Amino acid sequence: MPKRHDLWAWLKSFLKFLPYIALVAPPLLGDSSYTHAKWVIIALAIVTQAWKDRTGATSAEQKMAQRLRGHLSTLVDEIEAVLGPEFKGILRANIMRPCDPYSLRIFCCVGGYKPKEMTMPWEIGKGVCGLAHSRGRMIYGDLQPQSSAKSYEDILDATGQTPYGLSEDHWALTRNLKTVLAIPIYEANDARRRWGVLCIDSTAPMPAEKVDSEIAKTLDTYRKTIGISILS
């Protein structure tokens, strides 16, 4: 059942068309030589309004993505400082959002993601990011065993399952990664309003002791900052 505020937002999207309906309804009750012309005008008005709504929403999302990329850049800088000069890997960060009821997709990122990574859906409940979203807590993924595997079959267990439930396509796309960390983002930091997932990954292992302390605290701070930032 839709939440009350979601239902109201859905209803409001139709209120703007009531004046057009009021114009077109009287001719439909009787004969009018202007009925066809009015239908064309109303149709054009509705299409124009829908286009404005769509482009307006796209523009708002682009502005939000740009703002969030700023947070991701400073997050990467802070974690690189925590890891210190001995860390030799490439560190990246992204924010994933649901693209349908069952999948996540990258919404914005920093760090040179491949085009296929940007468009590929990640099933909720699978992969480090999908698990973080479904379980509602930070997930630390040590991917060294799967990154060192020569083939996809090498990471299958006795039951035919893979670590984190990765498909062959997802394994092939991420096999250069050694560590992935993901933590859910809540709108306004309300745990009932899951909005997306904050993820960082690296091509070198991150020390577990730093992940459990400084890095975990940093991720938690940024997910809260982002949870507030998405409302502005």
pLDDT of 5 reads: 47
pTM of the model: 0.74
Mean pLDDT in residue range 100-115:
94
Q: Is the pLDDT of residue 139 over 50?
A: yes
- In three state form, how does the secondary structure of the chain look? CCCHHHHHHHHHHHHCCHHHHHHHHHHHCCCCCCHHHHHHHHHHHHHHHHHHHHHHHHHHHHHHHHHHHHHHHHHHHHHHHHHCCCCCCCEEEEEEEEEECCEEEEEEEECCCCHHHHHCCEECCCHHHHHHHHHCCCEEEECHHHHCCCCHHHHCCCCCCCHHHCCHHHHHHHCCCCEEEEEEEEHHHCCCCEEEEEEEEECCCCCHHHHHHHHHHHHHHHHHHHHHHCCC
Mean pLDDT in residue range 92-96:
97
pLDDT of 156 reads: 92
- Higher per-residue confidence, 1 vs 103: 103
Mean pLDDT in residue range 146-152:
91
pLDDT of 58 reads: 66
- Per-residue pLDDT tens digits for 23-72: 555 555 455 555 556 565 556 555 555 555 554 556 888 999 999 999 99
Most confident of 13-22, 70-79, 160-169, 204-213: 70-79
The second-level CATH assignment, the architecture, of 60-229 is 2-Layer Sandwich (3.30)
Mean pLDDT in residue range 199-219:
94
Task: Give domain limits for the chain.
Answer: 4-54, 60-229
pLDDT band at 231 (very low <50, low <70, confident <90, very high): confident
